Structure 1
Amino acid sequence: MVKIMIIEDDLVIASSLQEELTKWQYDAFHVTDFNGVMDTFTHEAPQLVLIDIKLPYFNGYYWCTEIRKISQVPIIFISSQSEQMDIVMAIQMGADDFISKPFDLTVALAKIQALLRRTYDFTGNDAYLSYQKVYLKISELKIHYQDQEVELTKNEMKILEVLFLQKGAFVSREAIMMKLWENDSFIDDNTLAVNINRLRKKLAELNLTSFIVTKKGYGYGLQKDDDFIESN
């Protein structure tokens, strides 16, 4: 089930959004600890974020920037601050769309569904990512290829989610470690290497031994379209 995180200080609006999204079979929840937004984000791993600009402690621009350090998850701002500069700021901080308050729930739902369609593929209401006929089943913690699939740990899923969302571009080791552990300052680079090696062994079970590519001195990516050759 697609998980949607609502970061909204107005409880009435947050509850209304959660109720409407739940009716449409989305796993929607709203943040209650506004000082620990990133803790909630990394723990819940939502597929979409709805966020207001005005929030306790830090504003929505700040949290959007923090999320973008570790994830390309789609983000929609929902705010009464809807002057042109507010919208421009939101987009510059990494938002994908902007909904102005007051808003119609039907219109908000349509924008949410459109952004989800642009970002993910779906089977029913479950989101998955695809790349070169390899399918990452996010809610099931599985990767599927040619009628075979293997189960993944949460860390393995997070690594692949980062790489899939980048569509073959290389991602730095630091960005991946931030996705896994929030802060890379106290993480030995060997820890990430161990996770990557374990993941490669699982991919080998699907005859995808070269699916994850290393860029020496930088990080990791997925095979480019022209280089995509499965193992025999």
Structure 2
Amino acid sequence: MKIMIIEDDLVIASSLQEELLKWQYSAFYVTDFNDVMNTFTQEAPQLVLIDIKLPYFNGYYWCTEIRKISQVPIIFVSSQSERMDIVMAIQMGADDFISKPFDLTVALAKIQALLRRTYDFTGNDIYLSHRQVHLKTSELKVQYQDQEVELTKNEMKILEVLFLQKGAFVSREAIMMKLWENDSFIDDNTLAVNINRLRKKLAEINVTSFIVTKKGFGYGLQKDEHDETK
């Protein structure tokens, strides 16, 4: 699991990273606070820890920007912990709030609890799920009911991005950045070919119309059943 730390205090950022690494999480902290979204798009973390007070733009701003493209879980970690600060964080899209100063053990417990609520864990594997389709990231497989199909690394990366940002459309540039780090040298048809192959593999396990294309916006996942009446 990859965790992104957006924290101006290097001591706190390093302490969080060190503690998370002890628990086998892949943790990293932002160094360019003027380009947070580019880092988020490239790294595609499974959880974000963010402070309110940051250089250039505050945490509320970046939380709102992340929520435009992703439903990844977000925890605010801040010394600005008055009731209105917490309310504002939740209204901006945060899932939880940790007040500074904090105990690393308590912070870790909150992080692990939110990860358990967000993702399905089976043994040591992590399943990302949507509409009864389960993405087995470590096995490079996707499963539906009692059927499963193997994926290439690129196909897995595409589905992982879409699963983590379900409910929103992801631009082709963002997906290509995740796959190849830089979309400048990739043929325009390369991503489309990968998407078509992925759709064919999903059809093999009776998963159809799962990846949706919206012109001008990119790719997304078919709406969840309970969203279709909205």
TM more than 0.5: yes
What code does the residue aligned with 1:83 have? Answer: E
Residue 186 (structure 2) aligns with:
none
Q: Distance in 2 between matches of 1:40 and 1:79?
A: 21
Q: Secondary structure at the match of 1:9?
A: coil
Q: Where do 5+ consecutive residues of structure 2 fail to align?
A: 178-188
Q: Deviations over 1:38-84 (max 9, x none)?
A: 11111111100000011111111111011001000000000000111
Residue among 176, 182, 187 paired with 2:170: 176
Q: Identify if the C-alpha distance between structure 1 residues 147 and 204 changes in structure 2 by more than 3 Å, giving closer, same or farther.
A: closer
Post-superposition offset of 1:204? 1.3
What code does the residue aligned with 1:48 have? Answer: L
* RMSD over aligned Cα atoms: 3.0
Q: Identify if the C-alpha distance between structure 1 residues 21 and 160 changes in structure 2 by more than 3 Å, giving closer, same or farther.
A: closer
Residue 55 (structure 2) aligns with:
56
Post-superposition offset of 1:156? 3.9
Structure 2 residue 126 is the aligned partner of structure 1 residue 127: yes
Residue 42 (structure 1) aligns with:
41
What TM-score, normalized to structure 2? 0.77
Q: Distance in 2 between matches of 1:141 and 1:7?
A: 29
Q: Distance in 2 between matches of 1:123 and 1:95?
A: 26
What code does the residue aligned with 1:176 have? Answer: V
Structural mapping, 1:89-168, within 5 Å: 89-138=88-137, 142-145=141-144, 146-151=146-151, 152-163=155-166, 166=167
Q: Deviations over 1:153-178 (max 9, x none)?
A: 53343234433xx4xxxx5xxx3328
% of aligned pairs identical? 74
Q: Where do 5+ consecutive residues of structure 1 fail to align?
A: 183-189, 227-232
Q: Distance in 2 between matches of 1:57 and 1:181?
A: 27
Q: Distance in 2 between matches of 1:39 and 1:58?
A: 14
> 2:52·2:58 contact (CA, 8 Å) conserved in 1?
yes
Q: Deviations over 1:124-155 (max 9, x none)?
A: 45432123542113456542333522311533
Q: Identify if the C-alpha distance between structure 1 residues 142 and 41 changes in structure 2 by more than 3 Å, giving closer, same or farther.
A: farther
Q: Distance in 1 between matches of 2:121 and 2:149?
A: 17
Count of residues in Structure 1 that have an aligned counterpart in Structure 2: 209
Q: Identify if the C-alpha distance between structure 1 residues 193 and 56 changes in structure 2 by more than 3 Å, giving closer, same or farther.
A: same
Q: Deviations over 1:78-112 (max 9, x none)?
A: 00001111111111110001110000011101110
Residue 25 (structure 1) aligns with:
24
Post-superposition offset of 1:223? 7.1
> 1:156·1:195 contact (CA, 8 Å) conserved in 2?
no
Residue 184 (structure 2) aligns with:
none
Q: Distance in 2 between matches of 1:88 and 1:223?
A: 28
Residue 85 (structure 2) aligns with:
86
What code does the residue aligned with 2:170 have? Answer: I
Q: Identify if the C-alpha distance between structure 1 residues 40 and 139 changes in structure 2 by more than 3 Å, giving closer, same or farther.
A: farther
